[in-house]
Amino acid sequence: MAKIVTLTMNPALDIATSIERIVPDRKLRCDTPRYDPGGGGINVARAVHALGVESLAVFPAGGAAGELISHLLRQEGVGYNAVPISGFTRESLNVAERESGQQYRFILPGPEIDGRDQQRCLDALAGAAVDADYVVASGSLPRGIPEDFYARVGEITGRLGKHLILDTSGPALRHAGAGVYLLKPSLGELEGLVGHPIRDEREEEDAARTLIEQGRCEIAVVSLGARGALLVTRQSIERLPALQVASKTAVGAGDSMLAGILVGLIRGLSLSEATRFGIAAGAAALLAAGTQLCRLDDVERLYQESVNAV
């Protein structure tokens, strides 16, 4: 039985490669590619598994990319329920330019998913979530899925008495409704939810508290990039600093952070310490190359450094 179940409605086959220099109008011969299962919830499930907790990823899958995602998850030992669809699962390409150290990320659109396949995904989630401690809905919504889709997910988790963790953006975030236990917006996403620019730390705290007062969530963890994270509940406000590491890539850092928070909670850490563990997991993901996620030994080391620094 998986302790953490994730839902990814717009999964992707992540392809990472490198090249000396990117120039227009030429054939660019890249290095040997790396293939990883991707998409918000899938990344969270993979990171949770890497941190030693059993997870299960629910996602729609179609075409060769969908089959390869399932194959790669099996190789990693990550549990999954791939719901077959008629469309083709998308691919994304991450190209590192060695000369400049810059990375270029090309994200293709997902397939159109009709109402029948949407319901099959929700049914699969409901079945998998019965024995889970937490349900994570993460990532963008592909074509065909209504903006209030995550509100339907919230209704399911509410009926099951499960904690819903949501990490998304844009209209899918604005129409997510109530029923969310923990929301993890970026600062830009927080501005979109409250409808105005946020100019200083006081306004950050007020905006996060507004989400809770509006019933959007019980806990808000606002990602602040190099400034760390802002943790807000109805009873408390806490700022947790970032960890300084030599970053190779930002791919998967947010998903690793969310996985770390949940693993910390399952380990019995307080919410504050679990968020600190999540920050360590996010920082550990920055150390990985391409589309790789955090590694347990890096997370444990960075978390211990953060605890010793307090």
Structure tokens at 97: 């330019």
What share of the chain has pLDDT > 70, as a percent?
97
- CA–CA gap between residue 61 and residue 91 (Å, rounded): 12
How large is the average pLDDT for residues 155-175?
Answer: 96
Neighbours of 115 (CB within 10 A): 10
Q: What is the mean pLDDT of the chain?
A: 94
Q: Kindly report which listed range (152-166, 204-218, 245-259) carries the lowest average pLDDT score.
A: 245-259
Confidence class of residue 166 from pLDDT cuts 50, 70 and 90?
very high
Neighbours of 209 (CB within 10 A): 15
How many helices (H) and strands (E) the chain has is answered by 10, 13
- SS3 label, residue 97: strand
How far out from the chain centre does Cα 123 lie?
Answer: 21
pLDDT of 213 higher than 60: yes
pTM: 0.94
Structure tokens at 287: 């150390």
pLDDT, tens digit, 9 for 90 and up, residues 6-33: 999 999 999 999 999 999 999 999 999 9
| Nearby residues of 206 by Cβ (< 8 Å), 6 or more positions away | none
Confidence class of residue 244 from pLDDT cuts 50, 70 and 90?
confident
Neighbours of 45 (CB within 10 A): 34
pLDDT, tens digit, 9 for 90 and up, residues 50-75: 999 999 999 999 999 999 999 999 99
pLDDT of 290 higher than 60: no
Structure tokens at 285: 């993901």
How large is the average pLDDT for residues 232-257?
Answer: 86
How large is the average pLDDT for residues 278-282?
Answer: 95
- CA–CA gap between residue 161 and residue 58 (Å, rounded): 19
Residue 278 contacts residue 299 (beta carbons within 8 Å)? no
pLDDT of 250 higher than 90: no
Structure tokens at 257: 């952070």
pLDDT of 140 higher than 80: yes
Catalytic residue (choose from 36, 167, 255, 298): 255
For residue 17, give the nearest of 39, 36, 43 by alpha carbon.
36
Structure tokens at 88: 């083709």
Q: Are strands 79-84 and 55-61 parallel, antiparallel or unpaired?
A: parallel
- CA–CA gap between residue 89 and residue 11 (Å, rounded): 7
- SS3 label, residue 222: strand
206 is catalytic: no
Structure tokens at 56: 């299960």
Q: Are strands 180-183 and 79-84 parallel, antiparallel or unpaired?
A: unpaired
């990319």: which residue's tokens? 65
Confidence class of residue 309 from pLDDT cuts 50, 70 and 90?
confident
Strands, sheet with 90-97, edge to edge from the N-terminal-most edge strand: 34-38, 12-19, 90-97, 103-107
| Nearby residues of 124 by Cβ (< 8 Å), 6 or more positions away | 58, 81, 83
